[in-house]
A and B are shown apart, each in its own frame.
Chain A
Amino acid sequence: MVTITIDGKKIEIPENTTVLEAARMLDIPIPTLCHHPKLTPFGGCRMCIVEIKGIPRPVTSCTTPVSEGMEVATSTAQLEGLRKTVMELILSDHPNDCMICEKAGACTLQELAYFYGVRENRLAGERRTYTKKDGNPFIERDLEKCILCSRCVKACDEIQGVEAIDFGYRGFKSKICTSYEKDLDCEFCGQCVAVCPTGAHTGKQWAFKGRQKDIREIDTVCPYCGTGCNITLHVRKSVSGEEVVRVTSKEDTWNEGWLCVKGRFGYKFINNPDRLTKPLIRITPKDREASGVKREENSPYDSHLTPYELFREATWDEALDYVASRLKEIKEKHGADSIGGLSSARCTNEENYLFQKFIRAVIGTNNIDHCARL
């Protein structure tokens, strides 16, 4: 443990802590753009510079480890002046189109520009211009808005282990791109979208679906698999009721805000009219014929029928009673081993445990398996 002083406040912290982390523990705000608590430090945006006694030039707090007796100043006239210059430089190479940017209102860059009052730019000059041409279905990459903070590159590499993107070119022409600048062809987990501090990475499905202030956030658990990632549904009132317009995940959840392609982008089923919202019981051919629908000669599987002709809606009580009675009947008639259970990777461990218990103890057979084994 070492003791350091930041802006006159003392703190005792472990040696491998960075100055930035220490400042945040003390609730001392230091502006950052490229720093992300879950990724290795980059030190590229230069916003988090601080003055440390004994070091002649400002250093980035995100990369500097603490050492015993360190005295740090986080906000001096000199530092704020330098930060403002850095902001002016970043904004001199950034499209001024917050009005139609998907990220407006939730954009770190916009926030800092506001904080430093940068609008008229004395450092205006050439801006990088790129045509958006990425044909992938999920991720919108607007490289003109990119500030090269590397958070997407690091998330792709350090979190997902995919390395789909990296820096290309040099100097002012540097940009984040795929190899040979092809269309993005990765897992589309969207970690890059989650960590982007500007509007350079957004979800394609999010476009013009609403500003954050009109959105109700609902925390829930992703239904796709047994991992059970915590997700936040962004729900907005629309003409047809309420609509999920985006899915995110918070950093303080057990999945640390990381999601996969299904959890992040596979939410459209929620508002799909074909989605099942009630249990269905299959209509047997006998019942159907009794109600006047004739069975076709060469169509043993009733393939000409719509789902609504094959099934009827039921209540949960009715459906469960029906399943229970049928299982009982089969067991009595053919024995417990005539029944088997196949469980799903979408269920949690607890659910899978209960299901095997049900098959073994209630039904009385060892015929139990799981889709993950197939």
Chain B
Amino acid sequence: MNKKIEIKICMGTGGIAAGGTEVRDSFESSLKDRNISAELQMGCDVHKVGCRGLCAKDVLVDVIVNNQKTTYQYIKPNMISRIIDEHIIGGDPVGEWSVAEDYHNFHEKQVKVVLSDCGNIDPESIDAYIAVNGYKATEQVLKNMTPQDVVEVMKKSGLRGRGGAGFPTGVKWEVCRGVESDQKYIICNADEGDPGAFMDRAVIEGNPHAVIEGMIIGAYAIGASKGYVYIRAEYPLAIERLVHAIKEATERGFLGKNILGSDFSFSIKLKLGAGAFVCGEETALIASIEGQRGMPRAKPPFPVYKGLWGKPTVINNVETLANIPYIIRNGAEWFSSYGTEKSKGTKVFALTGKVKNTGLIEVPMGITLKEIIYDIGGGIEGGKTLKAVQTGGPSGGCLTPDMLDINVDYESLAKVGSIVGSGGMIALDEDDCMVNVAKYFLQFTQAESCGKCVPCRIGTKRLLEMLDRITKGLGKEEDLALLESLSNDVKATSLCGLGQTAPNPILSTLKYFKDEYEAHIRDKRCPAGVCKDLLTYSILEQFCTGCGACMRACPAGAITGEKKKLHTIDPDLCIKCGACFDVCKFKSVKKS
């Protein structure tokens, strides 16, 4: 049976949430019940794959018949019998359910390195990973390369840390390699915590073996015999797949004593984070593994000299590690052929917000912002205009529409006051209030501050209080200067990266959208119509038909009026939820 039918079902967290498990069960039972494999004289393989990026169209299913791939979107269990009938048996794909142009546009400008096998192979099968040359890099490294060779390749590739800071990975490894110690550690930082970011989760869920392989190679290069994966407990599926992958890799001899017959031994332990954002900071992460409260300490000494249990430790982000097997297999030149002069390779972004195609994307460094937003993201939803792109999550800043031609890489974003960060990218349109955006991020950083140093513990609180006052119309003219000076002082005096970058969303919005702040303070007006306390809802007499729809929708009972007569809103009762505005067909509810 040379011919083969392969069905790949997206079962990352997004796919499962959309019903991936049911779709898979349904495929399996239908194919079995109808004995398709025997009928068509073909092997029939149904398996799960990791995230393929466009979660909005889940459940995505690939049906591959005789190497001809058709991808279906929005698949539900009740659609399966038709796919089997028409496509698998009839040989004619169901055109109306297969993905359209936007799916292809979404992928066209992407370059997949880290995600190349995500969404393609079964993450719960080591054989699937080995079938796509998995663990070849480990073999190559252990048999043909010295640790110094590995470091040289990494340095030559130009790979920089994907967790946010962008420190060259090869240099970090080389420093740690040069430190004498009886024990060293390598830690995979999978404590992904930026709101809206899910790159690392998708990589672990979609291809956990690549991360493990990256760790093995890293451990070999620096001379570590033990590794930890610090992963947040809120990622149950990623943990499950990682635990399974570590077990499989140990059984096959890729982990454990004398790996592949060499002198090199390496084992990996998992440490589950308890939900503190600050534990993504490396010294806090180390404290957490050691069983202490997750609080950062001052550097130096850097972890490469004094890390976990006081021993030299390298901490790499998930995405960084997942790049490594591909760099070893394909060579440093191949990797550095992507990207710009100083930012090599590709970067995974979680593209969210008001773009049409939200999801996980991998693009070469240096791609323009325009290509990401308009070509990959498909532009702004609902024909609205782009107001800003927020990058780097709570530590990042905003880019304005006139910066669309900017290259997305470490240096170019830093130049305009933003960062690549761990890879969050949020598109904002005219309905987003920039003061509110800054307030949202400050709420997050303020709540996630560990409480150790004064500027972060109290400073972010005061910044948030000021933003809160402004969005409530209680802001004073002098608040603008105070916001800016306190932001700068908090940045200058905070202990760790959390506090040092927490004011960035304020400084960036103040720089590019000062007029919005001024409107809130001077005119007590929110230009985007977001800040509730500055809104009033009223009903326009000339349009109201007295249909009563708004009255029925109002959860506060604030709207009164007789049938077919003008309705009115009692401002004292109105909770400004906007339900009347959304429900009115005659545009008679005015928001001002």
Contact = CB atoms under 8 A, between A and B. Distances in A.
Interface of A: 41-46, 49, 57-60, 63-65, 81-82, 85-86, 89-90, 92-93, 122-123, 125-126, 147-148, 150, 166-167, 169-174
Contact of A65 (B300, B453, B454, B460): B300
A77 B276 CA distance: 36
B404 interface: no
Contact of B492 (A43, A63, A82, A92): A82
B449 interface: yes
Contacts of A82: 489, 492-493
B493 A171 contact: no
A126 B468 CA distance: 12
A148 B493 contact: no
Contacts of B300: 64-65
Given A170-B450, A171-B448, A174-B450, A41 B298 contact: yes
Given A41-B298, A167-B451, A170-B447, A125 B493 contact: no
B493 A93 contact: no
Nearest to A93: B458
Contact of B298 (A60, A81, A90, A172): A60
Interface string B450-470: 111111011111100100000
Given A166-B293, A171-B446, A126 B465 contact: yes
Contacts, number: 103
A174 B298 contact: no
Which bucket holds chain B's interface residue count? 20 to 34
Nearest to A91: B458
B447 A171 contact: yes
Contact of B453 (A43, A85, A126): A43
Contacts of B388: none
B454 to A, nearest CB: 5
Interface string B431-456: 00000000000000011111111110
A126 B461 contact: yes
A89 B451 contact: no
A91 to B, nearest CB: 10
The listed residue with most B CB atoms (<10 A of its CB), out of A86, A122, A150, is A86
B486 interface: yes
A63 B295 CA distance: 15
Contacts of A170: 276, 447-451
The listed residue with most A CB atoms (<10 A of its CB), out of B298, B454, B457, is B454
A89 B447 contact: no
7 contacts: A58-B492, A86-B455, A122-B482, A126-B465, A148-B451, A170-B448, A171-B447
Given A63-B298, A65-B300, A166-B293, A172 B493 contact: no
Nearest to A49: B493
B359 to A, nearest CB: 31
A372 to B, nearest CB: 36
Interface string B291-314: 001010110110000000000000
B457 A148 contact: yes
A89 B298 contact: no
Contacts of A85: 455, 459, 485-486, 489, 493
Contacts of A81: 489
B64 interface: no
B297 A43 contact: yes
Nearest to B458: A89
Nearest to B449: A171
A44 B495 contact: yes
Contacts of B455: 46, 85-86, 89
Given A90-B458, A173-B451, A174-B452, 10 more contacts: A58-B492, A63-B297, A82-B489, A86-B493, A93-B458, A126-B465, A147-B454, A171-B450, A171-B457, A172-B451
Contacts of A126: 461, 465
A156 to B, nearest CB: 14
Contact of A174 (B301, B457, B485, B494): B457
Interface string B275-303: 01000000000000000010101101100
A24 to B, nearest CB: 18
A65 B306 CA distance: 14
